[in-house]
Structure 1
Amino acid sequence: MMKVLKKSRPALLLLSVLPLLQACEKPATVVRFSAQVGEQPLRCDTRYANIGKSGTPIELIDFRLYVRDITLVRANGEKHPLILEQDGTWQVDSIALLDFADGTGTCEAGSPATRLEVVGEAPDFDDYTGLEFKLGVPEDQNHLNGSTRPPPLNSTDMYWSWQGGYKFVSLDVRTPQHDAWVFHLGASDCKGSPGEGYSCAANNQATVTLNGFNPKSNQVVLDLAGLLSDSDLNHVIDNKTDYIAGCMSGRTDPECPALYEKVGLAADGTPQAVPASFIRVR
């Protein structure tokens, strides 16, 4: 006669409890970002007309940025930090890398991988009405050795070896006047070494505060038309006060103040309110 194996009581108990444990798991909270040019989605195969003060057409080459310390705000003012998923690729600690260039068309020098969201855990309230986050890498991690850091802090394209720190925002576009017009935001005029430490004239740490945001129904829009609205993309480099097309966070670069203002920084790097022209809620 064949024996029928009976499940032990501990096994039966585990099977009965498992659905309850699964039901208690917190659903992932996703903060979505949408890169746009005005109302058009940002793509690597599209030419965008009439951008900036000079009405210049642009084509995307690269657009990436670090965000961190994402916090959701309830209607009653309670703030709940988003505890990031440690995925080994895009997110580490409280820092996340966003990447909007897919390696096609005019972005062919980049990777095909993109990242348009930040994923983590937060209490599942329905009355979130605001979002806060910072642009860039924390000061205490900005000048560590990028080659030995975990992803996404090991991206060589996002690290300035000559500045000893990260690019917080890295935007490259092509115009009829310039093969590459750039906005690379990072700490300014940094001196020192990894062993001795660095000191910077300005750390350029910006904080974004957005009202009317609920992760279940809204996205954060990053609008390049708004970012570049006060910039002259046909500006001619004079090699005296201006050495590159665009801004690489130089303290005396005449093209930086207009861009700083859009990310919530004064010309000297002092934090100020972020206008809705570049970063807004949809």
Structure 2
Amino acid sequence: MYFYKRLACAVGCLLLVACQPETPVTFKFIPVYNGAPIECEKTWQHQQQTGWQIRTLQFFVTNLTLENDMQKQEFSLQTTVNSNPTIGLVGGQCQQSDYWQLSALSAPDFEEGTLSFDLGVPFELNHNNPLRAPAPLDQADMFWSWQMGHKFLRLDVANPSDARSFSYHLGSTGCDAVSSLRAPKTPCQHPNLVTITLKDFKVNQPIYLDLAVLLKDVTLNQDNRCMSEQNNPVCLRLFGQLQRDKVFYQ
């Protein structure tokens, strides 16, 4: 009888553990400039010019994957105001709601590895009707048109001391459609999706986005703004920075 009582207790404990909800993994992003966190009300210096402030910083994240030598985990995101299982929107507009973290539906079995994710919206989702799209693809300020699709990354900064401003909006270009109100039937000539890879990633530790690295050697003013034009040298530099340098790091 004693044996059966102990067995029943052990089974009960196992069932109790099995019924416990799994703690999801959280991906928290922190914007910085030269490693120092920046917020809407904080000013920072760029190329000896003080007084710069963020107005908007937002970007879409898809295909979150963590892998090591033994395993690979592809994450589905929780459904919230800024994410659905396929895609998440990180950041926001100053003086309005912003969201700097994404939560996956389940945690991986390992805590370190190489994290990768795409900065942008895949073609099959990029040109759908935003009025019918699930959050976060329904956010109007991150959408150009049915033909062009969504802005993958939007950065707007300003310097109130002398009324200067700068914008970088990354998205697909060369999208062939009969009009701006129609979606292209074939992928855009320049998808401009960027795959970010973070080696030695540790689960539940923050990911930093360094604007000093992204904006290196870029003079911030209205004339230098970038709307993803292929013949714009500022766009080429910014896109190259995203691909080569450690704009994102842990």
Map 1:42-191; keep pairs closer than 5 Å. 42-49=38-45, 51=46, 54-57=47-50, 58-74=52-68, 76-87=69-80, 89-103=81-95, 111=96, 113-161=97-145, 164-175=148-159, 179-191=164-176
TM-score when normalising by structure 1: 0.75
Two-structure CA RMSD over aligned residues (Å):
2.4
Which residue identity is paired with 1:41?
P
1:178 Cα deviation (Å)?
A: 5.5
CA contact (8 A) 1:84 1:121 kept: yes
Structure 1: which 5+ runs fail to align? 1-14, 104-110, 238-244, 265-273
Deviation at 1:100, TM superposition (A): 4.4
Aligned AA (2:19) = Q
Aligned partner of 1:242 in structure 2 is none
State the distance in 2 between where 1:178 and 1:259 align: 23
Cα deviation, 1:135-191, whole Å, max 9, x if unaligned, reads 010111111111221111000000002853100000000136664310100001323
Give aligned-pair identity as a percent: 26
Q: Which runs of 5+ in 2 are unaligned?
A: 1-11
Q: Is the 8 A contact 1:68 1:96 kept in 2?
A: yes
1:208-227 counterparts in 2 under 5 A?
208-216=196-204, 218-227=205-214
- The aligned amino acid for 1:132 is S
Question: What's the secondary structure of 1:35's corresponding residue?
Answer: strand
Query: How far apart are 1:224 and its partner, in Å?
Result: 0.8
Cα deviation for residue 98 of structure 1 reads 0.4
Rg larger in structure: 1
Q: 1:255 to 1:68 in 2, by over 3 A?
A: same
Superposition pairs of residues 34-45 of structure 1, within 5 angstroms: 34-45=30-41
Counterpart of 1:8? Answer: none
Which one-letter code corresponds to 2:32 in the other structure? Q
> Are the equivalent residues in 2 in contact too, given 1:143–1:198 (CA < 8 A)?
no
- Preserved contact between residue 40 and residue 53 of structure 2 (Cα < 8 Å): yes
TM-score, structure 2 normalization: 0.84
- 3-state SS of paired residue (2:240): helix
User: Counterparts of 1:178 and 1:254 in 2: how far apart (Å)?
Assistant: 24
Across the two proteins, how many residue pairs are aligned to each other?
234
What does residue 251 of structure 1 align with? 230
Preserved CA contact (<8 Å) 2:58 2:155: yes
Matched residues in 2 for 1:73 and 1:16: separation?
Answer: 31
Deviation at 1:205, TM superposition (A): 1.1
